[in-house]
Amino acid sequence: MKPYGLGTFSHAHDGRKFVGLVVDDHVADVAKLAGFHDAPALASAGSVLTLLDAWETNCAALDRLALAIDGKTEHWYPLDALRVHPAVDLPRQIFCTGANYRKHVVDMTVDARVGPPGLDEAGLRRWAENMMDERAATGEPYAFTKPVSTVSGAYDPLVLPNTTTQPDWELELAVVIGRGGYQIQRELALDHVAGYCIVNDISARDLIPRTDYKMLGTDWLRSKGQPGFLPLGPYLVPKAFVADPHRLKMRLSVSGQVMQDESTADMLFGIERQIEYISRYSRLLPGDIVCTGSPAGNGTHYNRYLRAGDVIEAEIEGLGRQRQVCV
């Protein structure tokens, strides 16, 4: 079967959102395709979230539809001719796994000179690497939530708020939940996954630590919860078309300079472990997004943060690409 994606789109002339089937960067309205090919279950799907609510049934119907299309009887539009909305518009819940890439955390440790006194840079790096290996072997993921109001489209402008002087990028692989569950076993975790897409977990670095009362530690609401701080999409790709989500190339540039060029293989805790951990304490719902962490190469490493006029371009192998202009 030819791989396809699923997203939320609209035409400039009417603004009506529709669920689109994406093949080779061309989009067709799923409801109209369903009419052409006698797929009544899909004809009434008003949103990607509606499809995710009964994902096993709807995914099978989408697979049959993808086999039936011939590209001649349907109306297809270039992806770049449409308004691209968040792939899931909107998710129910958003969970993020922080400090989940080995090299990223090691670099942050070395850059901040956090560690035992008396170590030179090489010694500090070895200490941090050993600490991360021990954490991966015996520790647990570190997860938090992000407001749904942060979600934006993959090509929407990124409005830099006046509340921060250090807005930063974090390219991440997002897991889209297709079957809810509570206290999910690790061995069954991928059965709950509908597919994957791209997110950029924009973060205000200067707002992460609480300085008024340091025992509070971090403040994720103000640092990661501002409007537009989670471009999502351009579309989700069903898991059947992603051979190994733990072996995907990731690349992000800012105004033409490559900042992140890594792989999901550097995750400390894999997707199954993250789903197991999150669902131990929270019930996952269809349409939820799990942001799985960001690799090395954030603005903190370069001491370079986003500015008005910057152009962020990001891609993950097989999942399309994003482009945001900072304003």
pLDDT 10s digits, 263-317: 999 999 999 999 999 999 999 999 999 999 999 999 999 999 999 999 999 999 9
What's the token pair of residue 19? 């669920």
What's the token pair of residue 168? 């930063």
Is residue 306 assigned to a domain? yes
User: Per-residue pLDDT averaged across 239-268, rounded?
Assistant: 98
pLDDT for the residue 302? 96
Angle at 297 between CA 306 and CA 168, to 5 degrees: 25
Is residue 89 assigned to a domain? no
Distance, CA of 288 to CA of 297 (rounded, Å): 27
What's the token pair of residue 305? 């943060």
pLDDT for the residue 23? 95
- Please say if the pLDDT value at position 243 is more than 80: yes
Residue 145 sits in the same domain as residue 273: yes
What is the residue-averaged pLDDT of the chain? 95
User: Per-residue pLDDT averaged across 135-143, rounded?
Assistant: 96
Is residue 204 assigned to a domain? yes
pTM here is: 0.96
- Residues of the domain holding 25: 5-84
The domain total for the chain is: 3
What's the token pair of residue 279? 């669902």
Residue 172 sits in the same domain as residue 283: yes
Residue 38 sits in the same domain as residue 111: no
Q: H helices then E strands: how many in the chain?
A: 9, 19
Residue 64 sits in the same domain as residue 203: no
CB atoms inside a 10 Å sphere around CB 112: 10
Residue 70 sits in the same domain as residue 125: no
Residue 182 sits in the same domain as residue 283: yes
Percent of the chain residues past pLDDT 90, beyond the cut: 85
Residues 6+ apart with CB under 8 A from 13: none
Distance, CA of 229 to CA of 203 (rounded, Å): 7
Backbone phi, psi, residue 24, to 5°: 50, 45
User: Per-residue pLDDT averaged across 214-242, rounded?
Assistant: 97
In 174-229, which ranges are continuous DSSP H helix? Answer: 220-224
Residue 12 sits in the same domain as residue 47: yes
Residue 211 sits in the same domain as residue 240: yes
Residue 273 sits in the same domain as residue 318: yes
Q: Which residues pair with 172 in a beta bridge?
A: 199
pLDDT for the residue 72? 65
Least confident of 47-56, 77-86, 191-200, 209-218: 209-218
pLDDT for the residue 70? 74
Residue 198 sits in the same domain as residue 310: yes
Distance, CA of 88 to CA of 74 (rounded, Å): 23
In the chain, which ranges are continuous DSSP H helix? Answer: 30-36, 40-43, 48-53, 55-68, 102-112, 121-138, 220-224, 271-281, 299-302
Please say whether the dihedral angle defined by the alpha carbons of residues 174, 295, 26 and 327, taken in this order, is positive or negative: positive
| CA separation, residue 187 to residues 96, 173, 273 (Å) | 21, 20, 9
- Please say if the pLDDT value at position 251 is more than 90: yes
pLDDT 10s digits, 17-56: 999 999 999 999 999 999 888 888 898 889 999 999 999 9
Is residue 29 assigned to a domain? yes
Is residue 15 assigned to a domain? yes
Is residue 253 assigned to a domain? yes
Residue 135 sits in the same domain as residue 175: no
CATH number at residue 205: 3.90.850.10
Is residue 161 assigned to a domain? yes
pLDDT 10s digits, 60-101: 999 999 998 876 667 899 999 999 999 999 999 999 999 999
Rg (CA), the chain: 20
Residue 177 sits in the same domain as residue 313: yes
